[in-house]
Amino acid sequence: MIYKLYPYGKRKAFNVTYDDGVQQDVRFVKLLNQYGLKGTFNLNSALAASEFEWIHESGCVVKRLKTEDIPALYAGHEVASHTLTHPYMHDLTKEEILRELSADKANLEALLGQTIKGFAVPFDYYSELIAKCVEECGFEYARISEESHSFHPQKDDYHWRATVFHCCKELEDLTQQFMESCEELALFQIVGHTYDLDIENKWDLIETIFRQISNQDDILPMTTIEIIHYLKAMDQAEITDQSIQNNSNLSLWFDIDHTVREVKPGERLFHISI
């Protein structure tokens, strides 16, 4: 009996993917770090540069982080693009879309000194044209605004759905279901903006969830790109009754007859004793 696992023999993966890069991220990242969790943060470099702010109808001030504060804050987490200026992309030409994507990618890469591989769609408009542009600009995935409400890993990297929006009333139920889930390669991703936690008074709830997740030994905190790379590597593996061939450059992990086994990059593991 072969059962696919996440790295280090973990059965499940957890990630948060948060948009906009606002000041409330400071408190949020502190919580993630306190509980040993990993986030993906989707930023608009031009709005950071102008220190853009707006006032939510609740009175909450939503202000972007300063560009210079970005590298230190998100160290150890993933930074991804969320377009240059956060436009509704419905009316944009292909050239305008490409500019929003490529300029943001270039700015973030210059700021962080690393390749930006992920993209999260601003607002909720997405199209095949945008998906094509995302791929053309060299991003490896696009997280869209739709939720999956499922723990099953997504199949389409350019229409990637997180599990649940953090203000959704099913957040707590889904968290419990995930903790109890035995699904193979179960994945739980929470999506949101940290300013909602002020507006909706949900900081205690999110901390409770972080504590529960971090207390469960079989859950591995991962960034979105780490998850995508690992699932892709797993898809390339050749698994037969006799052996597992790892065709990727990442170690893969399996439960074979109740024993956790690592299959190193390029290795073939024979799992039937002769």
Q: Is 21 in the site for Zn ion (CB under 5 A)?
A: no
DSSP state of 150: S
* Least distance from Zn ion to the Cβ atom of residue 260, Å: 39
Question: Which CB sits closer to Zn ion, 122 or 153?
Answer: 122
Residue in 4, 19, 21, 195 binding Zn ion, rule: CB under 5 A: 19
Q: Is 104 in the site for Zn ion (CB under 5 A)?
A: no
Residues 6+ apart with CB under 8 A from 40: 15, 16, 17, 18, 77, 78, 79, 80, 118, 120, 143, 223, 224, 225
Tokens 């889930």 appear where? 181
x/- mask, Zn ion, residues 115-144, rule CB under 5 A, reads: -------x----------------------
How many residues does the structure list for the chain? 274
Helices assigned H by DSSP within the chain: 25-34, 45-49, 70-73, 94-112, 128-136, 171-180, 195-199, 203-215, 224-236
Q: Is 25 in the site for Zn ion (CB under 5 A)?
A: no
x/- mask, Zn ion, residues 33-72, rule CB under 5 A, reads: ----------------------------------------
Q: Is 226 in the site for Zn ion (CB under 5 A)?
A: no
- Given the rule CB under 5 A, which residues bind Zn ion? 19-20, 122
